[in-house]
């Protein structure tokens, strides 16, 4: 790839060969200077010692944390966030200060608030109204540390209602906070049938974070049919200067899966 973009390793999908706390150092050894994580604990409010161990692992590795997902429920079990869930909204609210607190300790600027699947017994509008309230609370907390809250269209979850960039942007418009932005995962958008080139052409200014994987397969770039190199170059040309999250499932070992990205381009300063 020949663009000036900055890459960050998603240590929830990469380096899963290793215990979670060893992954930041492994990313550093592979030549990267930045990592991102899905919520790294099993509960919304983990014990302080678990939070401290996570913070220390990142500090000791000498990498920066560029993104952290809020608690999103049981992800392996199919949950995709609590933001719009009436029954578990309290857990999301309790989690806001813990997540932003970790961000404050590590200088992390971006927090991904997965929206939540549709739930039986609650109307879509009830869930959407709750999501706006919760995203507003999250945005207020993140603003205290100049952070941004991300809203992400996701594929592969039958009852997750945000599939396209337009779906996420309509939520963001309702929240009306300046620090809520689109997480454009080029893999999820493409798999959901969105017109990724058009999203980039029309909405680069609303994209607060980008993630990539190739499709089909959600493996490293070059394993599928997506035009990731061209799309990242266009994003950069349109003024996107944020991080690119490598959020793919390595088709081989994690270290071998970085073959597509020359080592000298892995840890760009800044």
By annotation, the residues acting in catalysis are 152, 247
Shortest Cβ 8–ligand 3PY spacing (Å): 13
Whole-Å CA distances, 142 to 50, 65, 179, 207 = 22, 15, 8, 17
Beta-carbon count within 10 A of 46 CB: 19
Among 8, 66, 69, 127, contact with ligand 3PY (rule: CB under 6 A): 69
Of 69 and 204, CB closest to ligand 3PY: 69
Shortest Cβ 157–ligand 3PY spacing (Å): 7
Whether the link from the prior residue into 216 is cis, omega within 30° of 0, is: yes
Shortest Cβ 251–ligand 3PY spacing (Å): 17
- What is the rounded distance in angstroms from the CA atom of residue 15 to the CA atom of residue 32? 13
Q: Does 84 bind ligand 3PY (CB under 6 A)?
A: no
Q: Does 99 bind ligand 3PY (CB under 6 A)?
A: no
Structural contact between residues 4 and 12, judged by C-beta atoms closer than 8 angstroms? no
Q: Does 6 bind ligand 3PY (CB under 6 A)?
A: no
Q: Does 192 bind ligand 3PY (CB under 6 A)?
A: no
Structural contact between residues 192 and 164, judged by C-beta atoms closer than 8 angstroms? yes
Of 64 and 188, CB closest to ligand 3PY: 188
Q: What is the DSSP string of 189-200?
A: HHHTT--HHHHH
Which residue has the CB atom at the shortest distance from ligand 3PY? 154
Beta-carbon count within 10 A of 236 CB: 15
Among 154, 191, 207, 208, contact with ligand 3PY (rule: CB under 6 A): 154
Q: Which residues make up the interface to ligand 3PY (CB under 6 A)?
A: 38, 69, 80, 112, 114, 152, 154, 185, 247
């Amino acid at each position: 790839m020949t663009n000036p973009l900055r890459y960050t390793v998603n240590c929830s999908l990469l380096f899963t060969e290793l215990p979670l706390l060893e992954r930041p150092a492994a990313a550093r050894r592979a030549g990267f200077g930045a990592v991102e994580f899905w919520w790294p604990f099993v509960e919304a409010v983990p014990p302080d010692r678990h939070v401290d161990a996570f913070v220390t692992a990142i500090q000791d590795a000498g990498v920066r944390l560029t993104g952290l997902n809020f608690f999103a429920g049981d992800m392996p079990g199919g949950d995709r966030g609590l933001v719009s869930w009436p029954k578990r909204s309290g857990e999301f609210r309790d989690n806001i200060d813990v997540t932003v607190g970790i961000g404050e300790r590590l200088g992390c600027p971006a927090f991904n608030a997965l929206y939540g699947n549709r739930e039986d017994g609650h109307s879509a509008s009830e869930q959407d109204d709750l999501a706006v309230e919760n995203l507003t609370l999250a945005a207020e907390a993140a603003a205290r540390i100049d952070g941004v809250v991300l809203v992400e269209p996701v594929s592969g979850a039958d009852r997750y209602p945000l599939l396209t960039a337009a779906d996420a942007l309509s939520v963001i418009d309702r929240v009306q906070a300046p620090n809520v932005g689109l997480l454009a995962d080029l893999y999820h958008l493409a798999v959901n049938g969105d017109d990724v080139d058009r999203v980039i052409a029309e909405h680069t200014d609303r994209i607060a974070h980008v993630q990539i994987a190739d499709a089909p397969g959600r493996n490293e770039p070059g394993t599928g049919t997506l035009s990731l190199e061209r799309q990242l170059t266009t994003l950069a040309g349109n003024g996107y200067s944020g991080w690119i999250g490598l959020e793919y499932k390595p088709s081989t070992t994690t270290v071998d899966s970085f073959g597509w990205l020359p080592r000298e381009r892995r840890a760009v300063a800044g």
